[in-house]
Amino acid sequence: MGIALHRGPVFFGNIGSRDRLDFTVIGRAVNLAARLEPLSKSTGRRVLLTDRVAELVEQPIEELGDFPIRGLADPVAVFAVAERRN
């Protein structure tokens, strides 16, 4: 299981009808994070970051490369927090 983090505008709230309300978050930022998450398996990293999140992290970061993402014209740079060496 992996996690992908991206930062951007989203819409959130209860969506549905009186009989069935679901709290959800939608938007391009959500879609990008959801499409990055499967890369955690192929990269062997549990937590993946986009550049918009990596720039906020105070720990050393590793760039894993640019990956094509379905629905986007340009590849996305993917990062991970640098692994500690013992």
Q: Given pLDDT bands bounded at 50, 70 and 90, which one contains residue 18?
A: confident
Give me the CATH number covering residue 10.
3.30.70.1230
Q: Which domain holds residue 77?
A: 3-81
Averaged pLDDT of the chain: 93
| Total of domains in the chain | 1
Structural tokens at position 69: 């993402």
Kindly report, residue by residue over 19-59, the tens digit of the pLDDT.
Answer: 898 999 999 999 999 999 999 999 999 999 999 999 999 99
Q: Specify which residues 48 forms β-bridges with.
A: 4
Q: Which helix (H) or strand (E) holds 29?
A: helix 28-36
Q: What is the pLDDT of residue 86?
A: 65
Residue 70 has pLDDT above 80, yes or no: yes
How far apart, in whole angstroms, are the C-alpha atoms of residue 55 and residue 36?
17
